[in-house]
Amino acid sequence: MVDISIILYEEDKAEDVCIVHNSAFKSYIEEFGMLYGYQKLNPNDIQNWIKNPESLIWLAYVENEPVGYVHCSTEVKKKDNEFMVFYFVETMVGRGQSKIAVIPSFRKKGIAKALIRHTIEYYKKIGAEIAIAYAYHDNELATHLFTKLGFKHESFHYYDKYSKTEPHEVNTMVATFDLLKTLPKITLNSKANIRIIFKDDLPVIREIRVTARPDDDTTMEQVIDWYKEGWGEVTLVAEFEGKVVGCMEYNSDGVIGILGVLPQYRSKGIGTTLFYHILKTMKERGLPKAVADSEYLPWTEHARKMYKRFNFDLSRELWVWVKKL
C-alpha cells in the first residue's frame, strides 16, 4: 500500500485530471472512441464537467504526482418517496463506464478503493442513501473492485423507498451493427411510407413518445425544443393509412434513437420497416457503424428483438453496481 493523498478538485488541477484520464482510458479511447464517450481530454473539457454545481471531482496523489481521479454527481429520485443517490458519472450516458480512473502503473495499490471510500463517506454525510457505478460486463478489474467494496450487481435493482414493484436501476444492452456489411433481408411493410419529418408531425410525435414508455411525460414544448435543437442528423417518420404512426432518428455519430410506434399500429412490421430505412440511410451516407442502447425494461423488449432480427452484435452490456449506504 502506498501513501495516498486525496483532494477535491480545484480549477488549477484540470491538467492533472487530463493526465490521469488520458493514461487510464488510453485503450478505450483507441478502441471505443467518442461513440462511447472516450476521448483524449484537455483542461477545457474538465471545466465543462464542473459547470453543473452537483458535479464534483476528487484526485488521488502519490508523492505529489496525480495517479487517479473519480467524477461524481447526485440525483434526487422520486417515485413513492424522495431520496438522494450519488453516482460515478459515465463517459457517455447509457454506453460509457463510470469515470473512476487510475494510471495503469499505479493499479492494484488501493488507489481506486481509497477514492471510492472517500466519496462514499462524503456523500453519506450530506444524505445520499445509495451509491451507483457503471461498468461493462467484461471489465474484470471493475467487477473485482466493486465486489470488494460491497457494491452489488443485479439485473434489476430495487429499493423500497423508490418502489416495491419497479426497479430504480437496470442494466443496459449496447447493440452495434457494422454498416460496411450488407443489410439483412427483412420482410417490410409495403404499405408503410417512410419520409423525413415535418414540423406539422410534432403533435403526433409527442403522442408516440408518451405511449412508448409509461414514465414518459414529455410536453409539447419539449417536443418543439427537440425538433429545433436537431439531435438527429436524420429523423424519419412512418405513415400508414395516411397517418404518421412511428418515428426514429440517428445522430452524426451513428447513434440510433427509437421514439417508437403508436400502440395500435404495432406488430404490423411498421417499426421494422422504419428501422430498415434508418440503417439504409446511414449506410448510404457513409457511416461505418450503427449503435443503439436499450435498458432491460418491459417496454424496450421489442427494440431488443428488432436488433437481434437485424443481426446486431448484442454482446456488450453496461452493468449497474449499487451500494446502499
- The 3 state secondary structure assigned to the chain is CCCCEEEECCHHHHHHHHHHHHHHCHHHHHHCHHHHCCCCCCHHHHHHHCCCCCCEEEEEEECCEEEEEEEEEEEEEECCCEEEEEEECECCCCCCCECEEECHHHCCCCHHHHHHHHHHHHHHHCCEEEEEEEEECCCHHHHHHHHHCCCEECCEECECCCECCCCCEECEEEEEEECCCCCCCCCCCCCCEEEECCHHHHHHHHHHHHHHCCCCCCCHHHHHHHHHHCCCCEEEEEEECCEEEEEEEECCCCEEEEEEECHHHCCCCHHHHHHHHHHHHHHHCCCCEEEEEEECCHHHHHHHHHHHHCCCEEEEEEEEEEEEC
Asked if 137 and 14 sit in the same domain, the reply is yes
In the predicted model, what is the mean pLDDT of residues 111-136? 97
100 assigned to some structural domain:
yes
Task: Please check whether residues 14 and 135 belong to one and the same domain.
Answer: yes
Query: Does residue 273 surpass a pLDDT of 80?
Result: yes
User: In this predicted structure, what is the pLDDT of residue 193?
Assistant: 96
Q: Do residue 164 and residue 194 come from a single domain?
A: no
Higher pLDDT, 290 or 163: 290
- Are residues 158 and 199 part of one domain? no
Are 152 and 68 contained in the same domain?
A: yes
28 and 129 assigned to the same domain: yes
Angle, helices 202-212 vs 220-229, to 10°: value is 110
The answer to whether residue 301 is domain-embedded is no
Residue 261 shares a structural domain with residue 120: no
**191 and 151 both lie in a single domain:** no
Same domain, 165 and 185: no
What angle is formed at CA 94 by the lines to CA 312 and CA 266, rounded to 5 degrees?
Answer: 55
Classify residue 39: in a domain, yes or no: yes
Q: How many domains does the chain have?
A: 2
Q: Is residue 207 domain-resident?
A: yes
Neighbouring C-beta atoms of residue 25, cutoff 10 Å: 21
Domain that holds residue 189: 181-287
Residue 298, pLDDT above cutoff 90: no
Contact 128, 73 (CB under 8 A): no
- Burial label, 211 (beta-carbon count in 10 A; 0-12, 13-18, 19+): middle
The CA-to-CA distance between both ends of the chain, in Å, stands at: 26
When pLDDT is averaged across residues 53-69 and rounded to a whole number, the result is 96
Q: 79 with 140, same domain?
A: yes
The residue to which cell 476528487 is assigned? 58
β-partners of residue 292 are: 175
Here the CATH number for the domain that contains residue 55 is 3.40.630.30
Is residue 250 a part of any domain in this protein? yes
Cell matching residue 297 = 425494461
- Verify that 146 and 246 share a domain, yes or no: no
pLDDT at 217: 80
Pick the closest to residue 272 from 286, 283, 261, 257 (CA basis): 261
187 and 143 share one domain: no
Within-domain flag for 300: no
- Per the domain annotation, does 53 fall within a domain? yes
Q: How far is CA 86 from CA 57, 125, 212, in A?
A: 13, 12, 28
What pLDDT score does 281 carry?
97
Specify the pLDDT at position 1: 67
pLDDT of residue 8: 97
What pLDDT was estimated at residue 230?
82
Q: Which of 68-72, 226-230, 314-318 has the highest mean pLDDT?
A: 68-72
Report the phi/psi class of residue 271: left, alpha or beta, with left for phi > 0 and alpha for psi in -120 to 50.
alpha
Calculate mean pLDDT across residues 68-89. Answer: 93
Domain assignment present for residue 162? The answer is yes
pTM of this structure: 0.88
Q: Which residues, at least 6 apart from 324, have a Cβ–Cβ distance to it below 8 Å?
A: 129, 130, 159
